[in-house]
């Protein structure tokens, strides 16, 4: 669906972010007009950067006769987003692609996605939790089918916590006390590294605290990245950096791995999927890492999300046929098994469909962790505590770029993100709520 006037574009952009969205899928205009090819298999194209995508497509082709999938690997991150955007503009987009939840509103609001309400709305409504439905149901329409759910968790060195005499923190106040104790016991060691470079982590932590960065008022956008919840999170982490209680190594920097592997950093904040690569990245520390719920502000279980993958049909794609593949890869045991058993490295991705989690767990070798530490059980419990009500906006890419420039000055990062969001909204000819 592509808006044909400035008024309709404003209405869609406003609807995309409305916090009054329901999980009830409405009928779409683009979802059921595919033409079968007279008894011959219909071929659909599939783009993804996710591990196991190629093998999943091959397994689907072996088990299905009327639909065949032609797979192409694309770059991860911004490069992949740009490639897909250019392909849509050029009229040569794939029929299916994977997309981060945070990118959906931008593509939907620009008319670059096919409305899947007719072909996948019921699937999303009945097979996925409400907390993730709101990320793919925008403006009363279903624009994607979820794959995984990504609650934030605390990964920590159980042996070093014991050595330094700190308990697993239940609250963020406990976490700061633990950071102070660890530094006092060993001035060369820090509780974590938190030098910036990953706005998605800050968004997830603000989400946990109850922040809602984006909303609408009528046809006007509301951007609020400096509300009390967001400010509390930013001030907390800026304070830890200022007091030298955390390593200033940026997240995802090469030094990050060295610090964690050597014990100079004894914990990190990750998502459900973070457990997957630990056996290869930190193999020498097998049996020493454990996982706990993320500390909270009041001691009551709560968390936000960090990343997450959904399946979309770009504008012009064969939605009806593509939905057969999407349904298979997200809600069937065969599809999940094909993906997880094909991986060269273990994956701890937590399927958003709770019925599929046992399939994923069976393919995961949890021997890296101490006895009794079950990443899938812990992540499933964390998923039930994800704070509801968060939504993304069509200008998140601009926000990320602005926040990155502020590095570890998180209050400044949120202020710059606020400005970037407001500027981007204005540049699109939209209204900002006062």
Lowest mean per-residue pLDDT among 26-40, 113-127, 296-310: 26-40
Same fold, 6-149+307-363 and 152-304+404-432: yes
> Measured between alpha carbons, how far is 387 from 111 in angstroms, rounded to an integer?
29
What pLDDT does 171 receive?
98
Q: What is the mean pLDDT of residues 105-113?
A: 92
Q: Is 54 in contact with 103 (CB distance < 8 Å)?
A: no
Q: The tokens of 274 are what?
A: 């973070």
Residue 157 in 3-state DSSP? strand
| Cα-based angle 271, 80, 145 (whole degrees, multiple of 5) | 60
Question: In terms of Cα–Cα distance, which of 104, 43, 94, 72 is closest to 324?
Answer: 43
pLDDT digits (tens, 9 = 90+) for 131-155: 899 899 988 899 999 999 999 999 9
Domain spans of the chain? 6-149+307-363, 152-304+404-432
Superfamily of domain 6-149+307-363: Periplasmic binding protein-like II (3.40.190.10)
What pLDDT does 428 receive?
82
| DSSP secondary structure letter of residue 263 | T
Beta strand extents in 205-244 (DSSP E only):
214-217, 220-223
Q: Which residues are bridge partners to 351 per DSSP?
A: 148
Judged on CB neighbours under 10 Å (0-12, 13-18, 19+), 33 is exposed
Q: Which residues contact 282 (CB under 8 A, 6 or more apart)?
A: 257, 260, 261, 289
Q: What is the mean pLDDT of residues 389-393?
A: 89
Q: Does the domain spanning 152-304+404-432 belong to CATH 3.40.50.300?
A: no
pTM passes above 0.85: yes
Q: Is the pLDDT of residue 323 over 50?
A: yes
Higher pLDDT residue, 241 or 139?
A: 241
Neighbours of 75 (CB within 10 A): 12
Q: Is 216 in contact with 14 (CB distance < 8 Å)?
A: yes
Q: What is the mean pLDDT of residues 47-75?
A: 95
pLDDT digits (tens, 9 = 90+) for 193-217: 999 889 999 999 999 999 999 987 7
């Amino acid at each position: 669906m592509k808006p044909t006037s400035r008024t309709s574009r404003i209405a869609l952009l406003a609807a995309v972010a409305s916090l009054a969205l329901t999980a009830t899928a409405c009928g779409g205009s683009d979802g059921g007009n595919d033409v079968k090819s007279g008894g011959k298999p219909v071929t659909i194209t599939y783009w993804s950067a996710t591990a196991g995508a190629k093998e999943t497509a091959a397994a689907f082709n072996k088990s299905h006769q009327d639909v065949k999938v032609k797979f192409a690997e694309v770059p991860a991150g911004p490069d992949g987003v740009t490639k897909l955007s250019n392909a849509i503009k050029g009229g040569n987009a794939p029929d299916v692609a994977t997309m981060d939840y945070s990118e959906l509103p931008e593509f939907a609001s620009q008319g670059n996605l096919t409305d899947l309400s007719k072909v996948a709305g019921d699937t999303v409504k009945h097979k996925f939790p409400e907390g993730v439905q709101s990320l793919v149901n925008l403006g009363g329409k279903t624009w994607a089918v979820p794959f995984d759910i990504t609650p934030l968790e605390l990964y920590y060195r159980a042996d070093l916590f014991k050595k330094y005499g700190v308990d697993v923190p239940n609250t963020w106040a406990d976490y700061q006390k633990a950071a102070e104790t660890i530094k006092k016991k060993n001035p060369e060691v820090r509780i974590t590294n938190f030098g910036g470079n990953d706005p998605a982590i800050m968004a997830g932590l603000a989400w946990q605290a109850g922040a809602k960065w984006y909303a609408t008022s009528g046809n006007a956008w509301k951007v609020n990245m400096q509300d009390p919840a967001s400010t509390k999170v930013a001030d907390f982490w800026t304070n830890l950096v200022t007091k030298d209680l955390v390593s200033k190594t940026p997240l995802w920097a090469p030094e990050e791995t060295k610090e964690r592997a050597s014990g100079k950093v004894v914990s990190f904040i990750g998502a459900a999927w973070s457990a997957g690569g630990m056996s290869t990245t930190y193999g020498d520390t097998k049996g020493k890492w454990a996982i706990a719920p993320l500390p909270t502000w009041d001691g009551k279980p709560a968390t936000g999300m960090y990343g997450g993958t959904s399946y979309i049909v770009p504008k012009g794609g064969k939605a009806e046929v593509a939905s057969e593949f999407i349904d298979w890869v997200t809600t069937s045991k065969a599809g999940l098994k094909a993906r997880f058993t094909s991986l060269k490295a273990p994956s701890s991705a937590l399927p958003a469909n709770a019925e599929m989690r046992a399939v994923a767990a069976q393919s995961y070798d949890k021997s890296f962790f101490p006895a009794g530490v079950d990443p899938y059980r812990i992540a499933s419990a964390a998923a039930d505590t994800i704070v509801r009500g968060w939504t993304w906006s069509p200008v998140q890419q601009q926000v990320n770029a602005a926040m990155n420039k502020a590095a570890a000055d998180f209050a400044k990062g949120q202020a710059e993100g606020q400005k970037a969001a407001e500027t981007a909204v204005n540049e699109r000819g939209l209204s900002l709520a006062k």
